[in-house]
Amino acid sequence: MSHDVTWSHVDLNAVPCIKVPPPGPKSVEWHGRASQYMKGYSSQVRLFPVAFESGHGVTLTDVDGNVYLDFSSGIYVTSLGHCHPKISEAVAQAAKTLMNCHDFTTPIKARLLEKLVSILPGDLGGVQLYDSGTTAVEAGLRICRAANHPNLEFISFHKDFHGKTLGAVSLARLDPTQGLRAPGFFLAPRAFCYRCAFDKCYPECDLYCLKYIDTIIKEETAGRVAAIVLEPIQGWAGSTVPPDGYMQALRQFCTDRGILLFADEVLTCMARTGKMFCVDHWNVVPDVLTLGKGLGNGFPVTAMCVSDKYKDQVEKISASTSYGGNPMACAAALASIEVIEEENLVERSAHLGNLLMARMEQMKAAHPLIGDVRGKGCLLAIELVKDRATKEPAEKEGALVYQKAFAKGLAWIPAGNVLRLSPPLIMEDDVALKCMDIIEESIAEVEREAGYA
């Protein structure tokens, strides 16, 4: 499948280019200066503390001049490549014209809202703009409570991730420092067939994990569930895709019980999974949908979208923020949507996903360390296990593969024993396959060193 890549074309004879073993001296210096003050780094940075200077298309350059291929898209954000000329220009224009004016209307905001609603699924016709995924999720929780009054409770799923504010963390697994889950939040086992919580097999299970939510409602909640919240495909947990029929059955489950369905697509939206929105894979229309990450291709702009049925309730939730949806944010989001359409990136994402999935299947056949490969579009993952029969997670090996590949020039994302792949949607086929070569080489090295091969 062809794609006009003139501005971001990569010469594989020249890239990746590691001139100084990373992290090089300048990375060490800059990161040392910053990390005296800032301590809360992701595992991505802790395991490989380079300092980046610039990004162009699918490459990143560190302060020592090393050039990396980007298989992370800045943690699922810069899906259209770093500094896409159209998006940079749109943001620059807005920055020179009007940066912020609270939540007053601007023409660019009106144009973005019209465009967004024209592409959103079903009757999602209410949109509120924010500046982080977490704030959009919090607004989503508030609208669910307002729209489904007097119901206040939420059910979410094991290993979903929805952000780091107190409401959002209550939707997910808590780490010990977070203390208590807020009252009214309950977790259900996720439909994740590789590691089924009930040790059942699909399709014979007849979606038992979905039916089990009735037990949770009856035994754990007060029977006042406002919404079921989920990532349609999990990101942080490693691209876990629900089995066929699950999302449609979940939609029906919610409708039958007067529960709202809240799909958190902060990570999966804007063509990341090979559809504009992930729920489009199943033609499911949630009542509430959150968008982020790829929406502004690096500019912080996110959205909480709600069904026309509940749109007027948004007035009740004190929904405005200081700079959510400012002119720069709207310019970035509008330009990003236009780029996705003009460059056919929904189709491109699906194409690249198929190409990479075929390669991952070959790798799985060749490498005992690989237990599972999965995902959709450009949201993919490789799960490493010590033993395919026991599925014991190979955590240390995951970190080693990540570090080895990074040192060879691949900027990407670890998550314990799950290697997460998130290529920019504009990546050329041969470049994407080169990234897989680097990953496979690194897996083979770890297997040899740890005696797997």
Which residues would be at the binding site for ligand PLP (CB under 6 A)? 132-134, 137, 161-163, 231, 235-236, 264, 266-267, 292
In the complex, minimum distance from the CB of residue 134 to ligand PLP, in angstroms, rounded to a whole number = 3
Cβ closest to ligand PLP, residue 74 vs residue 292: 292
End-to-end Cα spacing for the chain: 36
DSSP string, 200-260: --TTTT-SHHHHHHHHHHHHTS-S-EEEEEE-SS-TTTT-PPPPTTHHHHHHHHHHHHT-E
Amino acid identity for residue 46 in this structure:
R
Sheet of 418-421, strands arranged across: 370-376, 379-384, 418-421, 413-415
Query: Which residues, including other chains, have CB under 8 Å from residue 384's CB and lie 6 or more apart?
Result: 369, 370, 371, 393, 394, 397, 398, 401, 417, 418, 419, 443
Q: Which H or E run contains 438?
A: helix 429-450
In the complex, minimum distance from the CB of residue 3 to ligand PLP, in angstroms, rounded to a whole number = 26
Nearest residue to ligand PLP, using CB? 133
Residue spans of alpha helices (H) in 343-384: 345-366
Give the span between the Cα atoms of 190 and 233, in whole angstroms.
11
Cβ closest to ligand PLP, residue 291 vs residue 446: 291
Rg of the chain taking only CA atoms, in angstroms: 22
Cβ closest to ligand PLP, residue 292 vs residue 371: 292
Cβ closest to ligand PLP, residue 64 vs residue 231: 231
Cβ closest to ligand PLP, residue 184 vs residue 292: 292
Cβ closest to ligand PLP, residue 132 vs residue 422: 132
In the complex, minimum distance from the CB of residue 367 to ligand PLP, in angstroms, rounded to a whole number = 28
Q: What is the dihedral of CA 30, 31, 36, 41, to 10 degrees?
A: 150
- C-alpha distances (whole Å) from 85 to each of 82, 92, 122, 129, 295 are 9, 10, 32, 24, 16
Amino acid identity for residue 329 in this structure:
A
In the complex, minimum distance from the CB of residue 200 to ligand PLP, in angstroms, rounded to a whole number = 26
Contact between 269 and 295 under an 8 Å Cβ cutoff? The reply is yes
Cβ closest to ligand PLP, residue 161 vs residue 402: 161
In the complex, minimum distance from the CB of residue 265 to ligand PLP, in angstroms, rounded to a whole number = 7
In the complex, minimum distance from the CB of residue 178 to ligand PLP, in angstroms, rounded to a whole number = 15
In the complex, minimum distance from the CB of residue 257 to ligand PLP, in angstroms, rounded to a whole number = 24
Cβ closest to ligand PLP, residue 162 vs residue 351: 162
In the complex, minimum distance from the CB of residue 122 to ligand PLP, in angstroms, rounded to a whole number = 20
